[in-house]
Amino acid sequence: MDDVVLCFDSDQAGQNAAVRALDDLLASGLTIRVATVPAPHDPDSYTKEFGGASFQQLIDRAEGFFDFYLRHLCATNDASQDKGRVAVVRSMAEALHKTGNAVLLDTYAQKTAQRLCVAVESVRAEFNKLRAPRKPAPGPAELQKGEGENPAARPSPPEFWLLKLLLLDDDLLDWAAAHIDLSWVRHPVVRQITSARLTRLPDGRRPLVTELLSELTSPDARSLLTEAVSEQRDIPNRSQQLADITRRLRDQFIDHQLAEVARRMNQSDLADTERIELLKQQQELRRSKRQSLSI
């Protein structure tokens, strides 16, 4: 089975980055492990000081993702209180169900019970009750198919609201055109409509919704556009909502790229020069996530 190692800094921000990568990887069928770089280093500085061979040892000693995740949950929730224990069990159950792996479910029911000092039967019962929430958007496997994307699938809620805001408010279009990278939008129909909405016509203006509707030939695109503009409701703080949604889509896109960099770094035959180049890419991606997006 393919194996991916996620490598993050030792601070809380680094561990939170590992947790944010969860949704993009769990359903992929990959074996996921997490390597933590000792403080005060990040992967780049650690490799420069100790060399590629030492960094490889960190990778080799990486712990399983769910061992990491259980430890992370117990560190961020008060496991001595009922509320904290329930939060740990619920989060573990939701994450494990995304894998669809019954062996992992049973294994980590036992580990979770042992960590929380509760009966394993109780944890198994909670795991059986709690299922991963169904996603309206395509999963990672479908999203990586490129031309094979299913345009009839529902877009994710952030992508739908991005579309809705851009269709309902002309005042947001200049900012959106300057800040939104269409590669951040994974749903093909949302990407198509967004691109058309943000494109300037020969006379310098952007197309009206009615013009878009007449130009779209795909029934899926026409249906989605109609749905987005038909529900009339007051949307407060539209500019801030657009900035928040754009930031979320950007960060999800970067998290996916970080996961791919981690996968490549885990290749056993990778030269030190290639590893260092990947570390630079990793640092640049992290810097990109720290860039402000505000209106």
Q: Tokens at residue 151, please?
A: 């345009």
- The per-residue pLDDT for range 83-118, each reduced to its tens digit, is 999 999 999 998 888 887 888 888 999 999 999 999
Number of Cβ within a 10 Å radius of residue 264: 14
Q: Quick one: which H or E segment has residue 32?
A: strand 31-36
Bridge partners of residue 8, in order along the sequence? 36
Give the separation between CA 118 and CA 111, rounded to whole angstroms: 10
Q: Tokens at residue 134, please?
A: 């169904």
Give the separation between CA 58 and CA 35, rounded to whole angstroms: 6
Q: What is the maximum span of the chain, computed from C-alpha positions, in angstroms?
A: 70
DSSP H helices, 61-208, are 65-76, 82-99, 102-116, 120-129, 140-143, 157-168, 173-179, 188-198
Measured CA to CA in angstroms, residue 80 lies from 70, 87, 156 at distances of 15, 12, 36
Task: Return the pLDDT at 131.
Answer: 62
Predicted structure pTM score: 0.53
Task: Return the pLDDT at 107.
Answer: 92
Bridge partners of residue 35, in order along the sequence? 7
**Spans of the chain, pLDDT less than 50:** 1, 132-148
